[in-house]
Chain A
């Protein structure tokens, strides 16, 4: 614990940032309350991963940037990920400023796609109704730090019976020594609406940076939300993400997660199937390289009857990396006819790497179906021999086998752009 280290921010700094963004009074109060609470709160308890010695609070929380109006002026690291001129709905955050934002003219009536600061000014009541309602600010220290220091993010609101045709996209960039990226992604999809949100996380030059993100998704009755995220931070970023969806009757959420960071990562992805007949599908792909440590948890809580969940995770481990892959299917008493399936598979490419697949089923109801599959394996020498016998080099053979191992998830990704971005990240990490 870094008990002897002074924090590099205080009430004053938080208040200043809040005032500069003209945040409503309730929001500043909630920041300050979270700031008071965080000193007393514990870090989250993680399966087989100790994060006490990671950096989670030594940073400069409010490194602001100049805004830009022309997408061409975005940094190369952003433009490498996304065709900024072709994307119609785009928001880009760099450190503590949303520097660029453009919403397509064709978006349906009543749809809100804006940065969090603007949303707080213009739709304060709406934001307040959902703010930190899926993830509570006092769940643990990281959540409270987030609530106190949130420095950007997006607010998406889709009215009932409305479909947003084009994906809404965001890029979150961290840059420079000691920077903090603390975006809050708040998505509210009202009854029978439909929306796709895609984001990407990148880093530029800089040392000891921290990202602390929270994603809250409220899926209304019969609504359908698709959320794809690819994280590609450098080794210099310690990254903490808590994503949570609350799904109403017959609602549906689909998560597509590319955990492609090079540095230490904690990601928890939880869907709460509250309404009857609600469902979730979670796909996670990860590659561990270098000496990075990752704790990736996919969780579903079945509350409603006839709820369905599918969680699939695949990770490839190289070098001396460690990844703990947890899958938690929780079926509450009363969730009759629930059906939860999960599978975690890890492919080990190095003797020194460590990969743990932990399927956990917690079932308090009798009338349900639940299944799990977990495996940790190595590349079969027989397969390598077979490919090599056709003239393919060992390196290329292994690459084909590894990409093939992940392909059952990657090829299922319904958004072509995300699929390509993920493949690009995979090629980078497996090069």
Chain B
């Protein structure tokens, strides 16, 4: 996976049941870039993340998403993952009876040919190394996947999976919510270690705090289900200082949520 990945989202529209949430969104992410999407609650940020990954609740009604020219929307969830997409989820599921390490090994082997599975020793070495980066206790390897994990432990575990799987496009959905400052630093360290020319990031957050530790190349503001303003890191700083009202004023937006009639 040394090629430079290229994710292209064009005029994306998506809905849940009868309600349209993503309303014509355009975004392009290339390897080496870190994009941050910010915005108040209810503007469609998490829906964008779930739609890109293929969550069954969301239906795409229009537009296209391609990864390196291939149609992502045609792919099943597992195919998207194997094509290089990764979503660190805001609320990951708890799976009883499946240990973290068994699960991760299945995920890694799903990307390999049969007969070419990762050796157990190599897997354990990698996992130990990455868990130590994330300051996770060794016992996490043998605990059931997310079961009984605290919010912060779940977030670290999402980053651990990302580090083990080494995807080409990493989407982080509110990875900072519920984290104290120490945990936030650890998670940021994990992400920063992975920044590379062959990997792009889409970081969804509504606090600027995370961006103090992960410096984005591009910052986008999402309102009413689409990107309404883009800029560099200075945009995030201004949002932190002044909030979102000035953007609403500038664009003549009264209700920024997806409920508003566009």
Chain A residues with a Cβ under 8 A of chain B: 380-383, 385-394, 396-397, 400-401, 403-408, 411
Contacts and interface: CB of A to CB of B under 8 A. Distances in A.
Contacts of B92: 386
B161 A390 contact: yes
Nearest to B82: A391
Contacts of A388: 76-78, 81
Contact of B98 (A385, A391, A401): A401
A201 to B, nearest CB: 26
A389 B96 CA distance: 17
A396 B77 contact: no
A391 B92 CA distance: 15
Contacts of B144: 404
B260 to A, nearest CB: 29
Contacts of B97: 401, 403-408, 411
Most buried by A among B86, B96, B97: B97
A389 B103 CA distance: 12
B132 interface: no
A380 to B, nearest CB: 7
B87 A389 contact: yes
Nearest to B84: A391
Contacts of B78: 388-389, 391-394, 397
B81 A390 contact: yes
Given A391-B82, A391-B110, A392-B107, 8 more contacts: A383-B93, A383-B95, A388-B77, A389-B80, A390-B103, A390-B107, A394-B76, A404-B144
A390 B161 CA distance: 8
Nearest to B164: A390
Given A390-B165, A391-B81, A391-B82, A404 B107 contact: no
A396 B106 contact: yes
A404 B100 CA distance: 11
Given A388-B76, A390-B81, A408 B96 contact: yes
28 contacts: A380-B93, A383-B95, A385-B77, A386-B95, A387-B107, A388-B76, A388-B81, A389-B81, A390-B86, A390-B107, A390-B110, A390-B161, A391-B82, A391-B107, A391-B165, A392-B106, A394-B76, A394-B78, A396-B110, A400-B98, A400-B102, A400-B103, A403-B98, A404-B98, A406-B97, A407-B97, A408-B96, A411-B97
Interface string B45-88: 00000000111100000000000000000001110111000110
Nearest to A390: B107
A426 to B, nearest CB: 12
Contact of A387 (B82, B86, B87, B95): B95
Contacts of B111: 391
B186 interface: no
Contacts of A382: 93
Contacts of A400: 95, 98, 102-103, 106
B89 interface: yes
A405 B94 CA distance: 12
Contacts of B98: 400-401, 403-404, 407
Nearest to B145: A404
A385 B89 CA distance: 11
A383 B146 CA distance: 11
Nearest to B77: A388
A407 to B, nearest CB: 3
Contact of A385 (B56, B86, B104, B107): B56
B80 to A, nearest CB: 8
Nearest to A404: B97
A404 B106 CA distance: 13
B110 A392 contact: yes
A404 B161 CA distance: 19
A50 B102 CA distance: 42
Contacts of A396: 106, 110
A246 to B, nearest CB: 34
Given A394-B76, A396-B110, A401-B98, A386 B165 contact: no
A164 B55 CA distance: 55
A393 B75 CA distance: 12
A349 to B, nearest CB: 15
Contacts of B96: 404-405, 407-408
Contacts of A406: 97
Contacts of A405: 96-97
Contacts of A387: 95, 103, 106-107
B56 A381 contact: yes
